[in-house]
Amino acid sequence: MMACLLEAPLRISVLSEVTATSRHYVDRLFDPDPQNVLQGVIDMKNAVIGNNRQKANLIVLGAVPRLLYLLQQSSSSLELRTECAVVLGSLAMGTENNIKSLVDCHIIPALLEGLLCSDLIFIEACLRCLRTVFISPVTPVQLLYTDPTVIPHLMSLLSRSQHTQEYITQIFAHCCKTPEHQTVLFNHGAIQNIAPLLISPSYKLRMQALKCFSVLAYENAQVSMTLVNVLVDGEQLSQVFVRMLQRDKPIEMQLTAAKCLTYMCRAGAIRTDDNSIVLKTLPCLVRMCSKERLLEERVEGAETLAFLMEPDIELQRIASVTDHLVSMLADYFKYPSSVSAITDIKRLDHDLKHAHELRQAAFKLYASLGSNDEDIRKKITETENMMDRIVSGLSESSIKVRLAAVRCLHSLSRSVQQLRTSFHDHAVWKPLMKLLQNAPDEVLVMASSTLCNLLLEFSPSKEPILESGVIELLCSLTQSDSPALRVNGIWALMNMAFQADQKVKVEIVRALGTEQLFRLLSDPDTNVLMKTLGLLRNLLSTRPHIDQVMSSHGKQIMQAVTLILEGEHSIEVKEQTLCILANIADGNTAKELIMTNDDMLQKIKYYMGHSNVKLQLAATFCISNLIWNEEDGEELRTRGFCGGSQERQDKLREMGFVDILHKLTQASDPNLCDRAKTAMQQYLA
């Protein structure tokens, strides 16, 4: 019992002792004798090296504002100012909380101001501390760009010494996060100033310069196009990068050089069939995916490779047969296993925490590999347990893994064969529907894109998805603020309505509501408008369906058609709208809505004489359907309509349609010519 009582006061006294000794360091910073202050700062420097507790204590006791004050005082000796910068740099080497405290005390503007001094040793001390602060994830990188004079000044300091080069390139590599940052650095001569460092004798410096180029070139055509023409010591920059890819170079260098070449290629500065890509970059990135590499190297290698070949089917085909890549990626899901050869316990702990990153990278790479080629998709789905892995990936706790898994699924869902086989066998639609319930927008976009493919008419998943009450969910997507989600919602409904039975069509119209349908027909996004027209076209197919939809919504639909045909829309939009009109003209009762609307008939006439063949063809379809001689005369007359095909034909002749058709039988476009001849024959029948 005694021991327990003693323990607590003992701990407190030890802590207060530490704080007391720390207090003594801070007190000395306020000594009236400058020599004592200098000695106090030097002693403090020696006390904090490698001692995180001591660093934290000094920060709590207010050492930072005093050190910054001394650093900024012009009356302080250069030696004192330099030692203050060194101590601050050491405090920054501690925990993230230390960095937060330093940033809150406005260390960054104070150090940046220090760079205006002419003394090199002081400048290097300030830069070293700035580097440590800026490479921390908790520091807002924007602070480097607040004052527009900072970047040009840093550029001018680059040539002062090897240390200034090392710290400044490291700062640039860490603080270039947005297109705006890339532009600022580019405009102030980053490329010309940093390129010579790629052939520096110092490996550290070559590496930092390389990292700078990878962040500058990422998704940036201006930078990439400039890099192609840069010469370093008479050699093209891209060739310098290729040399850095060689197997005898450190892995970090190979990977970063591969990134630079990848980004230049994706920006269009290097062709995808260039040897530097096909024979050097791609094989290097595939090597990075092998079991022998560290976890982070495998992640970075796979993600960069996925990005490199994303738009290019040839690179996808080459990669798929390089070093058994497809089966090599299967190992990403088995790592680290209980029998891992990792003897370093720290490493094992780290890898267990980060194993999800491997799964995410593998899904991304599979998505990229399978985005175009049917044989590659087959190869992927036949890899051991692949579909099960994707299904479990869809419900992982990590949002990034879920997103990558759904991207992979989307890529594979472009295959008719996979939709009919593995997708059906694994009931992929169930976890996909679950994912759609409450996910962030980026996951929703991918998941709903995949759902669009699962709802195609030849997909066996279409029926069970329909029965699961998906229509309400899709209708809610059409109300999203995100154009991509509105497109996918309406696209899925369009696929669902294709050759659907009347019950499904009625349900879609009911759930969507006519108001929302017509809101989508005036959507500012052309893709949304096109898919909505596609939905309408699918709803208005087969005569009984056309007549039923038009009897309840005819007025509004005709109004919408009028607005689109009169508006400033693309040829594609107008063509789709005329096709809807042709479907309406094919109805039994629905065609009267056109025949009794002279304004609409004039519009059809106008488009038959349009300069664009597609619009002429679609308009001629409308007339062809209106003329069509079914045995409909009797029935329609008895129901009070203006008559059957004979009356329609007479009215259309009076309006000059026969003359136009006659002219079109001489059209140079064979399809248009045939369509006009068919229509003329119906007149003569």
Residues sharing a CB contact under 8 Å with residue 630, sequence separation 6 or more, in sequence order: 588, 644, 645
Nearest to 620, CA basis, from 571, 670, 579: 579
Using the 8-state DSSP alphabet, how is residue 480 labeled? -
- Helix H or strand E segment including 371: none
The C-alpha atoms of residue 493 and residue 534 are separated, in whole angstroms, by: 9
Q: Are 433 and 465 in contact (CB under 8 A)?
A: yes
In the prediction, which pLDDT does 420 show?
83
Residues sharing a CB contact under 8 Å with residue 395, sequence separation 6 or more, in sequence order: 402, 431, 434, 435
Residue type, 447: A
Residues sharing a CB contact under 8 Å with residue 430, sequence separation 6 or more, in sequence order: none
Q: Are 534 and 583 in contact (CB under 8 A)?
A: no
Residues sharing a CB contact under 8 Å with residue 599, sequence separation 6 or more, in sequence order: 562
- Does this model's pTM top 0.85? My answer is no
Q: Are 196 and 235 in contact (CB under 8 A)?
A: no
CA distances in angstroms from 138 to 87, 97, 131, 169, 212, listed in the order given: 20, 9, 13, 19, 20
| Phi–psi pair at 232, nearest 5 degrees | -120, 110
In the prediction, which pLDDT does 629 show?
60
Using the 8-state DSSP alphabet, how is residue 30 labeled? T
The C-alpha atoms of residue 605 and residue 660 are separated, in whole angstroms, by: 8
325-329 LR contacts (CB < 8 Å, sep 24+): 325/286, 325/289, 325/369, 326/366, 326/369, 326/376, 326/379, 326/380, 326/383, 327/383, 328/286, 328/289, 328/290, 328/291, 329/289, 329/302, 329/362, 329/365, 329/366, 329/383
The C-alpha atoms of residue 350 and residue 386 are separated, in whole angstroms, by: 26
Encoding tokens for residue 463?
């029926």
The C-alpha atoms of residue 330 and residue 363 are separated, in whole angstroms, by: 10
What is the signed CA dihedral for 303, 308, 313, 317, rounded to 10 degrees? -60
| Phi–psi pair at 53, nearest 5 degrees | -65, -45
Place of tokens 């310069």: 209
Q: What share of the chain is helix, strand, coil (3-state, %, to 5)?
A: 75, 0, 25
Nearest to 393, CA basis, from 364, 372, 416, 419: 364
Place of tokens 């493919």: 453
Which stretches of the chain score pLDDT less than 50?
1-15, 631-642
The C-alpha atoms of residue 413 and residue 311 are separated, in whole angstroms, by: 17
Q: Are 306 and 299 in contact (CB under 8 A)?
A: no
**Count of residues for the chain?**
685
In the prediction, which pLDDT does 272 show?
96
CA distances in angstroms from 478 to 286, 374, 439, 523, listed in the order given: 41, 31, 16, 11
In the prediction, which pLDDT does 626 show?
87
The C-alpha atoms of residue 24 and residue 21 are separated, in whole angstroms, by: 5
In the prediction, which pLDDT does 111 show?
97
